[in-house]
Amino acid sequence: MDKWLNRAFLTGLLALLLAVPIGTALWGAEKTTAYYENRTLAERPALTGTSLWDGTFGSAFESWLSDHFPGRATLLKGDTAVQMRLRPVVNGAVLGGEVLLPFRDYDTWSAEEQSARAAERGEKFAALNGYIEENGGTFLFVGFPEQRTYFDSEYPAYLNSCAEETASASRLFREALEDRGVPFLDMGEVYDAQGHPASYYASVDHHYTWYGAWAAYQEIMETLHASGFDLPVLTEDDLDIQTLPNPCIGSRNRKLYNLWPNDDHIVLGIQKDPVAFDRRDNGQPSGTPLFVTPSSAAEPVAYGVYMGGDYGETVLETHRPELPKLLIFGDSFTNALETLLYASFDETRSLDLRHYQGGSLKDYIADYRPDVVLCVLNDSFYYTTAGNGAVWED
């Protein structure tokens, strides 16, 4: 029996060792993206004399082989399911609470360092604010807590929520802007005043929900009204609020291969008498609606429903020249807001500077001279100097 067992064992092992490279060659190499990881897969490295000499070919080949392992996504999904039963933190997501939160490491930030960085950011935004005013516009910075900040009390006591550091960083950032005369709307404060409703933020995604966006819209419109803008404002009576029955894939749950059970659903605020618009995305006419909904109720949806996701530039023209023009730039928190804000302006231009390749924000403002400029950022980007943080270059 021993001999038979040994032969069977060795044959099975050798078959496995050979099956993987064959499988990779036949099927694995075709894939270019890893949906659940939200990234591109490594490309097959080019064999060059230099890369062989310095060893970079070996490490690049290892990345390629790992990324294109046959059945990789299925194996990782299975492993995630097992890990979720064994550990409190899986793939960077904190399990066990009412909401999915990201794991934060235990490093602390120094107050001096934060303070210096806040001053630096304040200078940039002050320069931008001055430039917008020179061009006849009004600037408003709208700051949001990210989901991990909004639900920081949900972290288990033994994990680091970074609550103090985030609060300190946000306070310093806000002070740096306000001290330099930059109008700042702190939506975290607004949400707190409204009782910090849990419904404002997703449990499986890092964004707010439509309800959070709706509250923000109302607050922005009030702030603009106080600044002298007389704009048409949508009220709840103007909207048909619909909850999509589709299962919701949030960015947090995506890391868990959507295995974390939840009741999140995407909510849409559809205008009963919609303001008509023409849309252009990245300079091209676009028929993409405000809400890109799936064709069936079983199909999963994500935050990308709002405006169809992130674009470098989106222009919505309502052809009402009596109304002012809006420029809104920032992260994906803008998307849900745009579905509401555009109805109050003649033209709404939205830039996501992470993706926009058409030039600097400064040039864009000079070219289009918007009446209102909104910067919409969540607190995880306050100190980012690239992308939507690249607001001013001297």
- For another protein, the binding residues (CB under 8 A) are 1-3, 5-7, 9-10, 12-14, 16-18, 20-21, 24, 33, 36-40, 52-55, 58, 61-63, 65-67, 69, 72, 75-76, 78-80, 83, 86-89, 91-92, 102, 106, 108, 157-160, 206, 251, 254-255, 310, 332, 354
Q: For residue 124, how many C-alpha atoms fall within 13 Å in the half-sphere facing its CB?
A: 22
**Is the Cα torsion angle 25, 26, 31, 37 positive or negative in sign?**
negative
The smaller minimum CB distance to another protein, of residues 182 and 302, is found at: 302
CB of 182 to another protein, least distance (A): 25
The smaller minimum CB distance to another protein, of residues 32 and 243, is found at: 32
| Cα–Cα distance for residue pair 370/351, rounded to 1 Å | 13
| Cα–Cα distance for residue pair 376/356, rounded to 1 Å | 16
CB of 256 to another protein, least distance (A): 9
The smaller minimum CB distance to another protein, of residues 135 and 160, is found at: 160
Helix (H) or strand (E) holding 143: strand 138-144
The smaller minimum CB distance to another protein, of residues 16 and 226, is found at: 16
Q: How is residue 355 written in tokens?
A: 């993706």
- Residue 57: phi and psi, rounded to 5, are -65, -45
The smaller minimum CB distance to another protein, of residues 130 and 387, is found at: 387
CB of 138 to another protein, least distance (A): 29
Q: How is residue 220 written in tokens?
A: 């922005």
CB of 235 to another protein, least distance (A): 33
CB of 278 to another protein, least distance (A): 26
In this structure, which amino acid lies at residue 335? Answer: N
Judging by DSSP bridges, how do beta strands 184-186 and 372-378 pair with one another? Answer: unpaired
Helix (H) or strand (E) holding 126: helix 111-134
The smaller minimum CB distance to another protein, of residues 95 and 224, is found at: 95
CB of 176 to another protein, least distance (A): 24
